[in-house]
Amino acid sequence: MLDSYLHVKHAARPDWNLIEKKWRNIWDEQKIFESDPDSTKHKYLVTVAYPYPNSPQHIGHGRTYTLADAHARYKRMRGNNVLFPMGFHYTGTPILAMSRRLVSGDMDLYNTFRNVYGVPSEVIESFNEPVNIARFFHQEIKEGMKEMGFSIDWRREFTTIDEAFSKFIAWQFNLLKKKGLIIQGSHPVGWCPRDQNPVSQHDTLGDIEPIFIEYTLVKFYLNDTYVLPVATLRPETVYGVTNLWVNPHVKYVVARVGEGNEPMWIISHDAVLKLKHQGHNVDINHEIDGTKLVGQYVRNPITQNSLPIYPASFVDPKDGSGLVMSVPAHAPYDYQALLDFTNGNSSKEMHNHEIVKPITIIESEGYEGDNVVPSQIIIERLGVEDQHDPLLEKATSELYSHEFYKGRLKENTGKYAGMMVSEAKDLIRSELLQNGIGEILYEFVKKPVKCRCGEECVVKVLNDQWFLKYSEAQWKDLAHECINRMDIVPDEIRSEFNYVVDWLKERACARKSGLGTRLPWDQGWIIESLSDSVIYTAYYIISRYIHFDDDNNIPAQNLTESLFDYVFLGEGSSKRISEETTLSEELICNMRTEFTYFYPVDTRHSGRDLVPNHLTFFVFNHVAIFDRAYWPRQIVVNGSVLMDGKKMSKSFGNIIPLRQAVREHSADTIRVAMLSSAELLQDADFSFEALRGIRSRLDDIYQMGIHLSSSDNIQKSLKQLYHSQDVTESEDKWILSMMQRRIRDATELMDRLRVREVLHTILYSMEQDLQWYNKRIRSKGRFDLLVNTILSMFLETRIKLIAPFAPFLASEVWNSIVGDAAKIKEDLDWPGVVEEYTDPATEESEDLIKNLIQDIQNILKVTKMKPTCVNIYTSAKWKWKVYQRILELIIANRNSSLSDVMRALGENSEISQARSDVKLVKKIMEDVLSIPAERRSLKLNIKNLDELMAIEDAASLISSELGDLNLEISVFSEDEEEAKKNDPKSKARSSRPFKPAIYLI
């Protein structure tokens, strides 16, 4: 049987589509993924950001869901009562916009649907009704999820435009309003001027979150007849301004801004638009060339100093006001620009202008002293070359944050002298604003932000809009608390969450158009898509009662606010609610019980792009509505998927619909490829070559399974329990021990969701283990029952470990072994480590053999010898004692020196002889230092390895690996007389523990 297994590599490939279909049916019939409360088991609620069905899933969409599913399956295999629900997000304007584009004859969009996704033309025609788009792709995506094998409890499915769901959202919004967290007012939002609607990530091209920040516009005065406003994030540096920069190639405008009681402003055309959107009246009087401003002088509104205006082509009219203030001492860009100008890079522009000197106004650690210019120091330290050097960005942010946290204002800053920058910054800003010499200007952090309609978005100050008050300090505190006690995977992203919580301000939560739920108190508004999808994870728990089936749905009008209060908050009495809603008291109590059983969310999976919006809102809304016991416990964030190194996009023509990929490559292959090619936060690079490689590995595992299971002995052997004393052969002990190591590693890695490494362990490390084992048994000619059993155990372990990733393969092979599909849920559990089989000494001795073979092969390669005999000398006992002593010393102190070691060896008469062989001691020290630290103590426990026996046991393998079965392998211990007789070159002397000496004849 074994022999046949070894020759199965070229057998026919399995038909995965058929196998997948079979298992989908079995899972469905057995309702294996339908989870109900079960007090005997730990519950585990897995959720993923639900899909927006405006196009089918392509490969790029699959990663987050696949990771969540592998996570769900892993937790299920570990005995948890896992619930993995799914819904569909219809809310918002993108579906409306898409329908409109089709109606208006957009052939580009039509062809994408028709040719890339293969949507039938009559179906596309029905898309003139927007909801038909959502319904169609909803089904497409759902089928794709089933085909991928996602272990979803479909009884809990809903869409965000279901009437019942709208009731739930209205409840959520009324609750937030009662708590004072929804307000009406004037606040800035990202805005599409064409659509006349606020924009969020869902509405922008490239799904960019429109993040903006608040600048201070500082007003400089030209002859008191003009205002030259300049935008800055560091208003405190107004004391250090040496000059303004103006772009001589730009046409500026002279305009009346505001009520008209101050001089006219000089600003760029772009700045006019910005100011208008942000609530200022602006009347353009006339245009003025930038060159006209060059050489003029302005007055600093704070210091009253007179400052020159210099020409600079780097000034972008789209940034701020189109004018820039120069603070060379504290802004590395300004310093470098000044340097480049005076060094002649732009000497033409600088012609005839006096050279200004930087004014240092902040002192901080490392930047102290009278003539110190911080920008200069940091520029020189980083080696910045010119003003186009990307290092300037680094210099700027480093100096900015250093001075913000550690800087103190110097004497030349008037009443602020001696104050910390972090403290003075806001005071100076308030002074500017209060005295009318400063204004607020909002700017996007990353520009341009484009709406899906193609229009460039702006920051608009909206009046009478409804806002979620994410600026509320107490709310922020709770959100921080939740984030800080939550498990965030990977942890490095935690600070990003805290940053977003700090940064978030009021956020527009309603729109005038789109699909969704109307604001309960102001029906002219529709709740926007990122606001109605923050606590829907709670709705999953009860949705199976509401959408029971077509005949037994709970009518939406029975879903009262007091019902939701009872189910989600535990408020009120079930009896009274039963009377009010006409629902049975039992049903109401069941909903409450189910909620308290399954909530909170144990893990939430999402792509990294949702950190600054959805995931943070998810936290905010949970802490506002639910008790601490129901706050989410974990967030897992992953990177996106690239195709052959490129972002997937229509313009690259590299979009691959998920369902098509499953048909062509099998679901398991795609699942494994998605999760094995990158660390969590990295982008996963997909390629067909990688897919083929993975498929062939999975096929090999399948073949091995099918062949082993066809053996008569398999049933018996699998059930037979072996005790370690029954196992005597080194390779058997070794592979059993390695299995435990692989299980331990995979479990630890899986707990931290380091799935790439888990898959590497299963697919590659275990493959190497298997190959080594095969070599060992073959060289001994073993084909016994024990081998058969051990191979079955190995297969069993591997199948179990791979099951969360390749569930179809695992189910099929498992079933072929056990032959009972009905029990697959219980039997296919995550393997535990059997300590009895753990055998570090045997792992070391097999490593010894591997290294020995490699050493001999290297010698043969170098010497080109054709030996007839190989003599191997293992080291004397006293050398093992020396080795142990050195190991102890280095474990205790990694930096032990040769003299420390020599001294320690001298303290023990048994090993003091080693002191006469400094070379040997040095070599042993090197050996020990080259062992990974975590393995050192393991080696210490091994004490004395019987190398002689290990090598003799593997003699036949050594000769076969060296390609000569007649090669005579002789092993001697340095301690024995026999060794001296057979050691003409005194090789035994150089032997060391784990490093036998070799002599070829």
Comparison of 508 and 802: residue with beta carbon closer to Zn ion = 508
Please return the burial class of 91, using the count of CB atoms within 10 Å of its CB with bins 0-12, 13-18 and 19+. Answer: buried
Comparison of 67 and 192: residue with beta carbon closer to Zn ion = 192
Comparison of 451 and 691: residue with beta carbon closer to Zn ion = 451
Stretch that binds Zn ion, among 192-200, 422-430, 631-639, 890-898 (CB under 5 A): 192-200
| Beta carbon of residue 196, minimum distance to Zn ion (angstroms, whole number) | 9
| Beta carbon of residue 16, minimum distance to Zn ion (angstroms, whole number) | 44
Give the integer Cα–Cα distance in Å for 112 and 575: 55
Comparison of 453 and 988: residue with beta carbon closer to Zn ion = 453
Give the integer Cα–Cα distance in Å for 552 and 904: 83
| Beta carbon of residue 484, minimum distance to Zn ion (angstroms, whole number) | 38
Stretch that binds Zn ion, among 191-199, 216-224, 478-486, 992-1000 (CB under 5 A): 191-199
Give the integer Cα–Cα distance in Å for 460 and 212: 11
Stretch that binds Zn ion, among 416-424, 446-454, 591-599, 634-642 (CB under 5 A): 446-454
Q: Which of 990, 862, 883 is nearest to 942 (CA)?
A: 883
Among 181, 182, 192, 641, binds Zn ion (CB under 5 A): 192
List the beta bridge partners of residue 460: 189
| Beta carbon of residue 192, minimum distance to Zn ion (angstroms, whole number) | 3
Comparison of 362 and 451: residue with beta carbon closer to Zn ion = 451
Strand, coil or helix: 309 = strand
Comparison of 453 and 762: residue with beta carbon closer to Zn ion = 453
Stretch that binds Zn ion, among 7-15, 445-453, 549-557, 813-821 (CB under 5 A): 445-453
* Residue 285 in tokens: 């009087």
- On the CB side of 857, CA atoms within 13 Å amount to 12
Q: What is the DSSP letter of 759?
A: H
* Residue 420 in tokens: 């910390």
| Beta carbon of residue 147, minimum distance to Zn ion (angstroms, whole number) | 35
Cβ distance 432 to 235 under 8 Å?
A: yes
Comparison of 194 and 576: residue with beta carbon closer to Zn ion = 194
Comparison of 194 and 903: residue with beta carbon closer to Zn ion = 194
Contacts of 758 (CB under 8 A, 6+ apart): 746, 749, 750, 801, 805
- Scored b (16 or more CB within 10 A) or e, 16-38 reads beebbeebeeebeeeebbebebe
Stretch that binds Zn ion, among 72-80, 134-142, 350-358, 444-452 (CB under 5 A): 444-452
| Beta carbon of residue 211, minimum distance to Zn ion (angstroms, whole number) | 18
| Beta carbon of residue 190, minimum distance to Zn ion (angstroms, whole number) | 11
| Beta carbon of residue 100, minimum distance to Zn ion (angstroms, whole number) | 11
DSSP result, 463-499: EEEEEEETT-HHHHHHHHHHHHHSEEESGGGHHHHHH
Give the integer Cα–Cα distance in Å for 669 and 79: 26
Q: Which of 225, 209, 312 is nearest to 266 (CA)?
A: 225
Interaction of residue 292 with Zn ion, rule CB under 5 A:
no
Among 270, 455, 827, 917, binds Zn ion (CB under 5 A): 455
Among 72, 307, 399, 451, binds Zn ion (CB under 5 A): 451
Stretch that binds Zn ion, among 195-203, 594-602, 784-792, 938-946 (CB under 5 A): 195-203
Interaction of residue 453 with Zn ion, rule CB under 5 A:
yes
Give the integer Cα–Cα distance in Å for 600 and 397: 39
SS3 sequence of 943-961 = CCCCHHHHHHHCHHHHHHH
| Beta carbon of residue 285, minimum distance to Zn ion (angstroms, whole number) | 31
Give the integer Cα–Cα distance in Å for 483 and 635: 9
| Beta carbon of residue 203, minimum distance to Zn ion (angstroms, whole number) | 7
| Beta carbon of residue 184, minimum distance to Zn ion (angstroms, whole number) | 24
Residues touching Zn ion: how many (CB under 5 A)? 6
| Beta carbon of residue 449, minimum distance to Zn ion (angstroms, whole number) | 11
Interaction of residue 512 with Zn ion, rule CB under 5 A:
no
Among 13, 21, 194, 744, binds Zn ion (CB under 5 A): 194
Q: Which of 886, 874, 881 is nearest to 953 (CA)?
A: 874
Give the integer Cα–Cα distance in Å for 557 and 581: 8
Q: Which of 873, 870, 872 is nearest to 964 (CA)?
A: 870
| Beta carbon of residue 106, minimum distance to Zn ion (angstroms, whole number) | 15
Comparison of 190 and 807: residue with beta carbon closer to Zn ion = 190
| Beta carbon of residue 448, minimum distance to Zn ion (angstroms, whole number) | 13
Task: Answer positive or negative: Cα dihedral of 550, 551, 554, 558.
Answer: positive
Stretch that binds Zn ion, among 187-195, 848-856, 936-944, 949-957 (CB under 5 A): 187-195
Comparison of 94 and 240: residue with beta carbon closer to Zn ion = 94
Comparison of 195 and 683: residue with beta carbon closer to Zn ion = 195
Helix (H) or strand (E) holding 369: none
Comparison of 195 and 594: residue with beta carbon closer to Zn ion = 195
Comparison of 454 and 524: residue with beta carbon closer to Zn ion = 454
| Beta carbon of residue 457, minimum distance to Zn ion (angstroms, whole number) | 7
Contacts of Zn ion in 222-281 (CB under 5 A): none
Stretch that binds Zn ion, among 184-192, 336-344, 349-357, 719-727 (CB under 5 A): 184-192
DSSP result, 820-868: -GGGHHHHSPPPPP-GGG--HHHHHHHHHHHHHHHHHHHHHHHH----S
* Residue 960 in tokens: 């076969």
Comparison of 194 and 692: residue with beta carbon closer to Zn ion = 194
Stretch that binds Zn ion, among 259-267, 449-457, 728-736, 931-939 (CB under 5 A): 449-457
Q: What are the C-alpha distances in Å from 614 to residues 48, 501, 777?
A: 11, 12, 56
Stretch that binds Zn ion, among 61-69, 185-193, 880-888, 913-921 (CB under 5 A): 185-193
| Beta carbon of residue 460, minimum distance to Zn ion (angstroms, whole number) | 12
Among 20, 69, 153, 195, binds Zn ion (CB under 5 A): 195
* Residue 316 in tokens: 């972008």
Contacts of 938 (CB under 8 A, 6+ apart): 840
Interaction of residue 456 with Zn ion, rule CB under 5 A:
no
Q: What are the C-alpha distances in Å from 974 to residues 371, 854, 928?
A: 73, 21, 21
Stretch that binds Zn ion, among 75-83, 189-197, 560-568, 806-814 (CB under 5 A): 189-197
Residue number of the CB atom closest to Zn ion: 451
Comparison of 35 and 93: residue with beta carbon closer to Zn ion = 93
| Beta carbon of residue 695, minimum distance to Zn ion (angstroms, whole number) | 43
Dmax (CA) of the chain? 111
Give the integer Cα–Cα distance in Å for 922 and 925: 5
Comparison of 194 and 251: residue with beta carbon closer to Zn ion = 194
Give, in degrees to the nearest 5, the angle at Cα 314 between 308 and 318: 100
Stretch that binds Zn ion, among 448-456, 469-477, 623-631, 831-839 (CB under 5 A): 448-456
| Beta carbon of residue 111, minimum distance to Zn ion (angstroms, whole number) | 22
In the complex, the residues that contact Zn ion under the rule CB under 5 A are 192, 194-195, 451, 453, 455
